[in-house]
Amino acid sequence: MVDMGEFWVFGYGSLMWRPGFEHSEQIRAKINGYRRSLCIVSRVHRGTPEKTGLVLGLDRGGSCVGVAFRVDAGIWSDVIAYLRERELVTNAYIERLVPSRLADGRQVQVLTYVVDRRHPQYAGALHPEEAASRVIGRNGQSGSNEEYVHNTVEHLKALGIRDHWLEAVGSLIRAQQRPVRCVVLPLSAAGAAGSDWWRLRSTSHRRLPQSPVAILSETLRSKDPAGLRAGRGI
């Protein structure tokens, strides 16, 4: 049975580790009918109008594990005002009261913010590959969109919460960030009269740099830039 005499707020993103309001209790909680998703276009905080990013929202379908905060009745109106100022800047979210089951079995009504699918900032239900492609390289006033995703995943893990969809997005982003590590191995080419050739081996699946000659040229340029400018090249 849902207890209607208590005031609870449900957090599924940064609200879980940075609520910003006083609360008398916090506990893991689950809601049904909504899932955590990168479904809101960001043109300011994690992107720009020209190169938009993505931020989290609760979208219809599935379920979501997050953190519920109990708020004392005496400060409830102040907390509501704070949350509306924080969450409803562009009205991409809708304020909702939804049933939730707490980790200890209690059932309560929680206040949370779900995405408005009619809002222009709604990005739709994205596959991890599409979401990652719309996060990589995006930056806004609050920082890197990639860091936003990574930090969320790590905070969720620290709280013992696994979100496989978001983790898949994070893995795809990390795969794009992985640097190319190259090993240059000298080889004696048969019939080359003692000349040394170079073989480039990459430990990454990303495209290799230019030819070994270009790499050697860059090395010489860093050691003797004046000489190369004077025509003393390879």
Residue 64 phi, psi dihedral angles, 5° rounding: -145, 130
Pairing mode, strands 107-115 and 2-3: parallel
Instruction: Name the segment(s) of the chain with CATH classification 3.10.490.10.
Output: 2-177
Q: What is the pLDDT of residues 198-233, one digit of tens each?
A: 343 344 444 444 434 343 334 434 444 443 333 333
Specify the fold of 2-177.
Hypothetical upf0131 protein ytfp (3.10.490)
Q: Report the distance separating Cα 182 and Cα 193, nearest Å.
A: 27
Q: What is the pLDDT of residues 35-49, one digit of tens each?
A: 999 999 999 999 999
Q: What is the pLDDT of residues 48-93, one digit of tens each?
A: 999 999 999 999 999 999 999 999 999 999 999 999 999 999 999 9
Catalytic annotation present for 87: yes
226, burial (CB in 10 Å: exposed 0-12, middle 13-18, buried 19+) = exposed
Predicted local distance difference test score (pLDDT) of residue 191: 40
Q: Report the distance separating Cα 63 and Cα 101, nearest Å.
A: 11
Q: What is the pLDDT of residues 151-208, one digit of tens each?
A: 999 999 999 999 999 999 999 999 987 654 544 445 443 344 334 433 433 444 444 4
Q: Report the distance separating Cα 216 and Cα 55, nearest Å.
A: 43
Q: Residue 110: CB partners within 8 Å, gap ≥ 6?
A: 8, 9, 10, 29, 31, 68, 97, 98, 99, 100
Predicted local distance difference test score (pLDDT) of residue 186: 52
Catalytic residue among 6, 87, 147, 167: 87
